[in-house]
Structure 1
Amino acid sequence: MINHAFVTSNIARLDVLDFFTKALNQSSELYRDSTTLMLSKGIYDRPPMISYPQRVEYIQKHSYINGVIGKKINAVELTEVFFNIERNYFSILLCLGLLQVVKDKEIKGFIKNGKEISEKQIKFFNELLIKEDFLGTVPVSMEVTDSTTSPFSEKLIVALFHFLNSIDITLIGHALSLSMRMDLATHYSKFIGEILIYAEDGFNIMVNRKWLEQPPQAPNRKELEKF
């Protein structure tokens, strides 16, 4: 939904715009259907609850934005923290499953590094919730089978991680933009930096193995001037 929305908002060609508008609508319907199914089976993970506000309150001090862990966290920040934990749990499950089926040592090491990054983020965010007097969160009904047969090619697996890294950077950047606490913003920025470094490893694997198609390039005007 997020990627389709980004693409749709940058299109002027009408037939392509119609295609991505339809894709966005289908994604929204699929999200609704899957959420409804999880709710009906009692397996939807809900964010931590806070008391419903009794009145409108306004920020009284400039120091609000300089909050640190152990101080007040607002509803928007709490939501972003929760869903960052959720996404990283899914990431760990994906890594666990793929580590069982991937044979290439370089790619296996790449996946292990990704798993460690997700574990680090989960640890930080759960510790933050506990310090804010919320319980840490562990998603339900998740498991990895004992299969050792890969359903995907190694090229597809590395490409998947390449795109997931870009999505993760986008989502953490979104959380960063909504955070009013400097401590959270600092950690979000640090996580983005770590993912960028990790993404470079995957990029190098794809380039070295000639797995990455080059997107259309703008003309090199300086080179053209030489002719």
Structure 2
Amino acid sequence: MTEQPKLWSKFWPADMPKTLQYPDVTLPNILRKTAREHGEKVTIVFREREINYKELDALSDKFAAALSSLGIVKGDRVAVFLPNIPQFIIAYFGVMKAGAVVTAISPLHRERELEHQLHDSEAKIIVALKSLHPIVKNVWSKTQLKNAIITNFETFTSETEQNSNVHSFQKLLTEDAHPQNVKINPAEDLAALQYTGGTTGAAKGAMLTHANLVANTLAFAAWIKGA
């Protein structure tokens, strides 16, 4: 079969490559490499706090180990019910390092939308803001959730009540633990279930492999290079 010309590429910048080489790696692999080579470079700035690549790698390692200690194994779903704060990034990488699958949930979702995504994704753990915890509790019995990890907007700490299935984000990060070495096949293993907006029906989860996310990241990097 003759490959059809990609007509859109003629509108690209002259120095933009028409294709890229995509390595057989995961996003956590890329983070570890960056932490080794540029560990002191700042990657996250939030309010008055800065986090460099070395710190992000270490924090997400601890989060991955914490997930494993809570019973998460390869292929399990972990919901991240957070806005754009450092804890989202730490959790996102931590989930993938544990071999689990991230399902990010909009913090604007209310009970109906939250229940649908948790039920459909079969998430076993949810990471949520303290202010969103009441909504989580309202739908808990209708889901497969086993544990909740709670944090605050301003800091990693949380004053929420803690029991056998409610845990402090900050406390989990204070444990001196290292993640298990989970074997991942980037082309086959899921990294994320990214849900649609559900504008024409119930939101549906798009199955994204580690290779999908790496390809998207490298393509984006190629476009912003030199910007």
* Alignment TM-score > 0.5, same fold: no
What interval of TM-score do these two structures reach, taking the shorter chain for normalisation? under 0.3
Scaled by the length of structure 2, what TM-score is found?
0.23
Larger radius of gyration: 1
TM-score normalised by the chain length of structure 1: 0.23
More helix by percentage? 1
